[in-house]
Amino acid sequence: MCGIVGYIGKRQVFPILIKGLKRLEYRGYDSAGVAMINDNGDLSVYKTKGKVADLEQFCEDKNITGTVGIAHTRWATHGEPSSVNAHPHYSESKNIAIIHNGIIENYADLKKKLVADGVKFRSDTDTEVIVQLIEYIQTRKNVDLLTAVRFALTQLIGAYAIAVLDKRDKDQIIAARKQSPLVIGIGEDEFFLGSDATPIIEYTDKVVYLDDDNIAVIRRGEDLKVVNTLNDTLNPEVCTVDLDLGQIEKGGFPHFMLKEIFEQPECLENCMRGRINVEANNVTLSAVIDYRRQLLAAKRVIIVACGTSWHAGLIGKQLIESLCRIPVEVEYASEFRYRNPVIDSSDVVIAISQSGETADTLAAVNLAKDNGAFVYGVCNAIGSSIPRDTDTGSYIHVGPEIGVASTKAFTGQVTVLLMLALALGKEKGTITNEQYSKIVSELCTVPEKMKSLLKLND
């Protein structure tokens, strides 16, 4: 749940980094930090245990000039919460700094080898191993930063989203991802970096979502360059983010959870818009039209999800079995991915995730595809990994959910699962026309009923 922010351009970087970190505070964290190449050419790392406000206060008497930098909020995994273990982390020479989301599973083995070669570590984190390895390769092989990063990433086992600065090149940020989300915002002669789009949308709605094993070379005054670990140049898709600033602000509510509870009626209207006709008697899902054969041929449906999405899946099981007469299993993605499930081309796997980046669910998707299953995604975040990796699916269109306890995402997931069950049941002939029309009509009344309930409890 850690947060990443980055910027390179013409503006002063510190205010952008701090504002971005505040936008990511909903993720939870125990420390925060920034790394900037200031106007003197120094690579300064400022970090502290506590909140972003504590970091701001800590930086009051520091040199915070500069137009390139990276920032991070950390939730402790390796090493206790402390300013030493907070990100960013320097390399041994302090020429390079890094921020990182994810877990490096083989960090202990890598650290042992680096220590044996004389590298000195400052923290207890797995993240520091990455930056020390990058510098070790850069120095020993006399290569540029991109090459060192590429070689280092081939040695890592685990998940990562990283951003790297080198004080010897103030016009560049190197970023990369594997199983941890990373978004690049493209502005006018400037670039933004985020673990999601919330720190970016104030400045631009044009973004690139990096795929696994992608490495972005973000250079001032140049077009974005994306390569893989073999240095093959890739052509990433530039997407438009359908998100406005008001959606990620509290809007007069004391906290996000209350705001999102009250947003549910409008969110469900958005979820159903364009999918239920104006007469409120018919559901149309493009995925069911485009992939009718695969969906109707299913002998079994397996729903994989985690947390709240798993609970939505339990309701989806009842709906699909009742309306479509297809057996449905609901599995925790975290368990599904680590066993050897019996699955084949006669199965349809439905993967549910609000963020579209849930690591266990994403791994379950890939396992299902490897075994020939047809995979349907139910997600909220447009352009996220699961929608890109599944065969088809449906967005729930409820807007960003910032509150930790799910509200509108859960109701949106259940609504999409009901519409899917209705559309399939009609195609299969397992539901009468009278039942079908009655349920569709009742579904359309839910937003108004929710408004009445929320007004009573206001």
Q: What does the pLDDT average to over 240-249? A: 72
Q: What is the pLDDT of residues 138-156, one digit of tens each?
A: 999 999 999 999 999 999 9
Contact 74, 32 (CB under 8 A): yes
- The pair phi, psi for residue 111, each rounded to 5°, is -65, -40
Is the pLDDT score of 246 beyond 70?
A: no
- What pLDDT score does 318 carry? 98
Is the pLDDT score of 27 beyond 90?
A: no
Q: What does the pLDDT average to over 419-431? A: 96
CATH architecture for the domain at 254-451: 3-Layer(aba) Sandwich (3.40)
Contacts of 305 by beta carbon, 8 Å cutoff, 6+ apart: 312, 313, 330, 332, 333, 351, 352, 353, 358, 361
- What pLDDT score does 455 carry? 81
- What pLDDT score does 288 carry? 94
**Which has the higher per-residue pLDDT, 248 or 124?**
124
CA torsion sign for 222, 227, 229, 231 is negative
A 10 A CB-CB count for 448 gives: 12
Is the pLDDT score of 420 beyond 90?
A: yes
Q: Which letter, b or e, does each residue of 251-270 get, where b requires 16 or more Cβ atoms within 10 Å of its Cβ? A: eeeeebbebbbbbbbebbbb
Q: Which helix (H) or strand (E) holds 366?
A: helix 359-370
Separation CA 212–CA 387 (nearest Å): 14
- What pLDDT score does 400 carry? 84
- What pLDDT score does 296 carry? 95
β 392-395/374-379 pair status: parallel
Same topology between domain 3-246 and domain 254-451? no
Is the pLDDT score of 103 beyond 70?
A: yes
> pLDDT-derived band of residue 326, with 50, 70 and 90 as boundaries?
very high
Q: What is the pLDDT of residues 337-347, one digit of tens each?
A: 998 899 999 99
Is the pLDDT score of 221 beyond 80?
A: yes
Separation CA 185–CA 201 (nearest Å): 8
Q: Taking the domain 3-246, which CATH number applies?
A: 3.60.20.10
The answer to pTM > 0.75 is yes
> pLDDT-derived band of residue 1, with 50, 70 and 90 as boundaries?
low
Contact 247, 391 (CB under 8 A): no
Separation CA 234–CA 247 (nearest Å): 32
Percentage of residues in the chain having pLDDT higher than 70 = 98
Name the residue among 1, 17, 110 with its Cα closest to residue 55: 17
Q: What is the pLDDT of residues 175-202, one digit of tens each?
A: 999 988 899 999 999 999 999 888 998 9
Residue 13 CA to its chain's centroid (Å): 23
Is the pLDDT score of 270 beyond 80?
A: yes
β 347-353/300-305 pair status: parallel
Residue 363 CA to its chain's centroid (Å): 14
| Residue ranges covered by each domain of the chain | 3-246, 254-451
Is the pLDDT score of 244 beyond 70?
A: no
**Which has the higher per-residue pLDDT, 256 or 336?**
336
Is the pLDDT score of 456 beyond 80?
A: no
Separation CA 283–CA 270 (nearest Å): 14
Q: What is the pLDDT of residues 31-50, one digit of tens each?
A: 999 999 999 999 999 999 99
Percentage of residues in the chain having pLDDT higher than 90 = 81
- What pLDDT score does 342 carry? 94
Q: What does the pLDDT average to over 357-369? A: 93
Q: What does the pLDDT average to over 253-268? A: 91
> pLDDT-derived band of residue 385, with 50, 70 and 90 as boundaries?
confident
Q: What are 315's two structure tokens? A: 């309701």
**Which has the higher per-residue pLDDT, 256 or 207?**
207
Per the prediction, the chain carries an average pLDDT of 93
Put the strands of the sheet holding 225-227 in their side by side order: 89-90, 96-101, 160-166, 172-178, 214-219, 225-227, 233-234
Name the residue among 280, 352, 283, 347 with its Cα closest to residue 315: 352
Separation CA 74–CA 342 (nearest Å): 38
Q: What does the pLDDT average to over 200-218? A: 94
Is the pLDDT score of 407 beyond 90?
A: yes
